[in-house]
């Protein structure tokens, strides 16, 4: 991956030009090349579309020591600008810093590259906040981000404070991240931003029980859809009204007399529904003991039977026809040669 320049001392070794953020293995290769010779300078040219000037990442061994010195430059010739320089052997760290430095094409300036704004950084650094763990490498990384001009020091301080609030349970991770965004967007201090986030927490809607069951994995979308169908059938049957319990009892009697449900169906529904007629209807529908079409036709007939517009015997005959031919209420009534009564 490297190629020597034509310099007489053969000290410089320039690697292949990269047109995107270099992969970690290239950083490791640079370290290997540096470790082979005390006076070797490794150069990695980087020319990324959208940036006004090319970059150069260099690595060389520190004088009188064994550690590599990493430097990121931009521009060419005498106008070249140094963005940062660090001395350590952690290639993961160097790759992370380099990736952050090259993550967003900046505006062109006369001498190089402008520092990133907080808006640019929040996606790469502060989402989620656990990026800043309190161990030596990541504390160092936080200060490197400040030293590099990627974020101002108050932002790092705020992130570390919010991290502690999240660890103590005062805020959750999402709230901590949203607090930092609030500080930037509205220009408020940490205390005011935390108070704002907590006030929003109080305004959150109470979780819906069905949503909680789905998120917890107890039910799926198909289960919920089936339950909604049952609720709609009960509503259409008028079982959600003041007369719902009485209608439900009459409906169960009609289905039983018609032979469409048996004693075992009723026993199962009674166990599931504590023997309340309305809940028994729910159980019959939910279990599939009565299908939706039959239940709808039966519920409409029972209303007219109670009004004296049909006799119970007529309803039984009609239900058997509906079962055989899979017809709705109006079509069944017409097939019987009867007049469709008014629903009101």
Residue 48 lies in a domain: yes
Residues 92 and 11 in one domain: yes
Last residue within a domain, chosen from 170, 203, 236:
203
In this prediction, residue 174 carries a pLDDT of: 81
Residues 263 and 321 in one domain: yes
Residues 273 and 309 in one domain: yes
Burial class (CB in 10 A: 0-12, 13-18, 19+), 221: exposed
Residues 226 and 169 in one domain: no
Last residue within a domain, chosen from 37, 66, 101:
101
In this prediction, residue 107 carries a pLDDT of: 47
Token pair, residue 248, equals 């439900």
Last residue within a domain, chosen from 101, 134, 159:
101
Residues 145 and 39 in one domain: no
Residue 208 lies in a domain: no
Residues 91 and 185 in one domain: no
Contact (Cβ atoms closer than 8 angstroms) between residue 42 and residue 71: no
In this prediction, residue 28 carries a pLDDT of: 93
Residues 179 and 231 in one domain: no
In this prediction, residue 47 carries a pLDDT of: 94
Residues 268 and 303 in one domain: yes
Total domains in the fold of the chain: 3
Residue 343 lies in a domain: no
In this prediction, residue 4 carries a pLDDT of: 43
Residues 188 and 238 in one domain: no
SS3 per residue for the chain: CEEECCCCCCCEEEECCECCCCCHHHHHHHHHHHHHCCCCEEEEEECCCCCCCCEEEEEEECCCCCCEEEEEEECCHHHCEEEEEEECCCHHHHHHHHHHHCCCCCCECCCCECCCCHHHHHHHCCCCHHHCCCCHHHHHHHHHHHHCCCCCHHHHHHHHHHHHHHHHCCCCHHHHHHHHHHHHHHCCCHHHHHHHHHHHHHHCCCCCHHHHHHHCCCCCHHHHHHHHHHHHHHHHCCCCCCCHHHHHHHHHHHHHHCCCCCHHHHHHHHHHHCCCHHHHHHHHHHHCCCCHHHHHHHHHHHHHHHHCCCCHHHHHHHHHHHHHHCCCHHHHHHHCCCCCCCCC
Residues 151 and 249 in one domain: no
In this prediction, residue 150 carries a pLDDT of: 60
Residue 307 lies in a domain: yes
Residues 94 and 125 in one domain: no
298 half-sphere exposure, CB direction, 13 A CA radius = 30
Residue 210 lies in a domain: no
In this prediction, residue 175 carries a pLDDT of: 84
In this prediction, residue 126 carries a pLDDT of: 36
Within 8 A by CB and 6+ apart from 172, the residues are 166
Residues 36 and 127 in one domain: no
Which pLDDT tens digits describe the chain residue by residue (344 residues)? 444 444 445 788 999 999 999 999 999 999 999 988 888 899 999 999 888 899 999 999 988 778 889 999 998 887 888 888 877 787 887 887 888 788 766 544 443 333 343 334 333 333 533 334 434 444 455 565 666 556 677 877 788 888 888 888 888 888 888 888 888 778 888 889 888 888 877 655 555 666 766 766 766 788 778 778 888 888 888 887 878 788 888 888 888 888 888 878 777 766 544 556 777 777 777 777 888 888 888 888 888 888 889 998 998 998 889 888 999 999 999 999 999 888 75
Residue 39 lies in a domain: yes
Residue 312 lies in a domain: yes
In this prediction, residue 333 carries a pLDDT of: 92
Residue 108 lies in a domain: no
Range of the domain at 165: 118-203
In this prediction, residue 44 carries a pLDDT of: 95
């Amino acid at each position: 991956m490297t190629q020597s320049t034509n310099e007489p001392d053969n000290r410089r070794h320039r690697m292949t030009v990269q047109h995107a953020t270099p992969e970690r293995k290239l950083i490791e290769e640079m370290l290997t090349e540096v470790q082979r010779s005390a006076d070797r300078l490794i150069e990695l040219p980087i020319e990324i579309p959208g940036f006004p000037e090319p970059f150069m990442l260099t690595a060389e061994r520190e004088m009188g020591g064994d550690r590599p010195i990493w430097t990121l430059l931009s521009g060419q010739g005498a106008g070249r600008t140094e963005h940062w320089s660090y001395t350590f052997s952690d290639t993961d760290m160097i790759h992370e810093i380099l990736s952050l430095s090259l993550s967003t094409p900046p505006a062109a300036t006369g001498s190089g590259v402008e520092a990133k704004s907080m808006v640019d950084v929040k996606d790469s650094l502060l989402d989620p906040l656990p990026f800043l763990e309190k161990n030596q490498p990541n504390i160092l990384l936080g200060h490197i981000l400040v030293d590099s001009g990627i974020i101002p020091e108050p932002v790092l301080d705020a992130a570390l404070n919010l991290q502690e609030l999240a660890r103590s349970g005062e805020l959750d991770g999402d709230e901590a991240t949203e607090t930092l965004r609030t500080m930037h967007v509205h220009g408020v201090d940490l205390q005011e931003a935390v108070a704002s986030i907590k006030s929003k927490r109080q305004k959150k809607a109470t979780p819906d029980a069905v949503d909680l069951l789905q998120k917890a994995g107890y039910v799926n979308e198909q289960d919920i859809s089936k339950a909604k169908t049952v609720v709609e059938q009960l509503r259409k049957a008028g079982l959600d009204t003041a007369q719902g319990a009485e209608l439900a009892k009459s409906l169960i009697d009609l289905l039983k007399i018609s032979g469409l449900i048996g004693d075992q169906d009723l026993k199962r529904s009674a166990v599931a529904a504590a023997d309340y007629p309305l809940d028994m209807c729910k159980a019959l529908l939910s279990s599939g003991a009565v299908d939706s079409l039959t239940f709808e036709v039966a519920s409409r007939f029972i209303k007219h039977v109670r009004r004296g517009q049909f006799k119970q015997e007529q309803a039984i005959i009609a239900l058997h026809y509906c079962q055989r031919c899979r017809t709705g209420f109006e079509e069944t009534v017409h097939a019987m040669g009867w007049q469709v009564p008014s629903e009101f």
